[in-house]
Amino acid sequence: MRDDVHPTANARATHAPGWPTPTIQKSHERSETFGLQASARPDYDVLSGAALALKREQNRVLCVHAMPVMETLHEQIVNTQSMIVLTDAEGLILHSIGDDDFLRRAERVALRPGANWAENRQGTNAIGTALAELCPMVVHGDQHFLAANHFLTCSSVPILDPYGDAIGVLDVTGDHRSYHQHTMALAKMSVQMIENHLFTTTFQETLQVSFHGRPEFLGTLMEGIVAFTADGRFLSANRSAQFQLGMPLAALRAHTLASLFDVTSAQLIDRMRASTEPHVSLNLGNGAVVCARVQFRRALRAEGSRPAEVHDGA
């Protein structure tokens, strides 16, 4: 997933303040195609309480994994005239937390739970444009299409499910006068936490290989995680694993445990059983050696038995 996070200063060197970079320029053009006008009032069509509750239930797994991370992130940016927003895959705001006075300001432009911030509803904005482009986005001040939103600066990161599909957006929005460049880094780290939680939960009854070139990074956001079936067929990999293996998810689907780590599932499980260390060394196809932990819960539900835990390296 690429990043379209452009320093506003560069744009201002040749254009008016906050003039769109190429990606945001395309978003402005889309906004016009949708029939929106920069001077128009924001879309105040907000779901009823019952309809919003239904949307939250439909996105329950996302909300369960995202809310604790949002609360932790809020602790890091509290009292900075900002808020944190969680949306579904369509740009509908499911939850928001933040400083009370800024939340009240945000409500004036319908930046609140139950409102939809897709591009066709609110024009160019970090949430809608991140979903349209499927990449992290910063939209600052008058880069927003609607003039009413020019007081905002927003950093949004799409949230992907373990199969690589966008299921929502995490957004940090604040007053454009108090923008901090580290905000996007915090948003990215938070999304990585959410995605890793979703990944390990989805594949908890599979063979999971957690790895990194440096053992001290095992158990951190930096570790790669790959899930396989019991016989070594590839299921999925988190973002860090895709980076370390040098392949996107689509290419990895053609691989197996043996082709990626030069070991079969039976050999790997035997090595972990025999090992007195918390991790083992594995060879990648590019010749690199990584440290790995292996977790394998084989689901044997015959006669109601619980999954048999072959090895838990967690």
Rg (CA), the chain: 22
Confidence of residue 1 (pLDDT cuts 50, 70, 90): low
Question: Looking at the predicted structure, is the pLDDT value of residue 259 above 80?
Answer: yes
Provide, rounded to the nearest whole percent, the portion of the chain with pLDDT above 70.
88
CA–CA distance, 112 with 136 (Å, rounded to integer): 21
pLDDT at 56 (0 to 100)? 98
Domains in the chain: ranges and CATH:
8-200 (3.30.450.40), 203-312 (3.30.450)
Q: What is the pLDDT of residue 313?
A: 39
Mean pLDDT is lowest, of 211-225, 245-259, 263-277, for 263-277
The answer to whether 95 and 113 are in contact (CB under 8 A) is yes
Cα gap 142→260, rounded to integer Å: 47
DSSP letters spanning 162-213: TTS-EEEEEEEEEEGGG--THHHHHHHHHHHHHHHHHHHHHTTTSEEEEEES
**pLDDT of 273:** 84
Mean pLDDT of 103-119: 96
- What mean pLDDT is predicted for residues 78-92? 95
Residues 6+ apart with CB under 8 A from 24: 4, 6, 124, 129, 139, 143
Greater model confidence, 18 or 314:
18
> Region 275-299: what's the mean pLDDT?
85
pLDDT of residue 276: 80
- pLDDT score of 196 more than 50: yes
Instruction: Give the pLDDT mean for 217-239.
Output: 95
Cα 14 from Cα 312, distance rounded (Å): 57
Q: At residue 304, does pLDDT exceed 80? A: no
Q: Indicate the range of 11-20, 88-97, 110-119 predicted with least confidence.
A: 11-20
Q: Between 60-77 and 49-58, two packed helices, what is the crossing angle to 10 degrees?
A: 100
Among 5-14, 48-57, 77-86, the range of highest mean pLDDT: 48-57
pLDDT above 90 (res 114): yes
Q: The tokens of 89 are what?
A: 């895959």
State the pTM of this model: 0.86
How far is the CA of 190 from the CAs of 26, 110, 159, 218, 250, in angstroms?
28, 24, 10, 18, 24
Provide the pLDDT for residue 301: 35
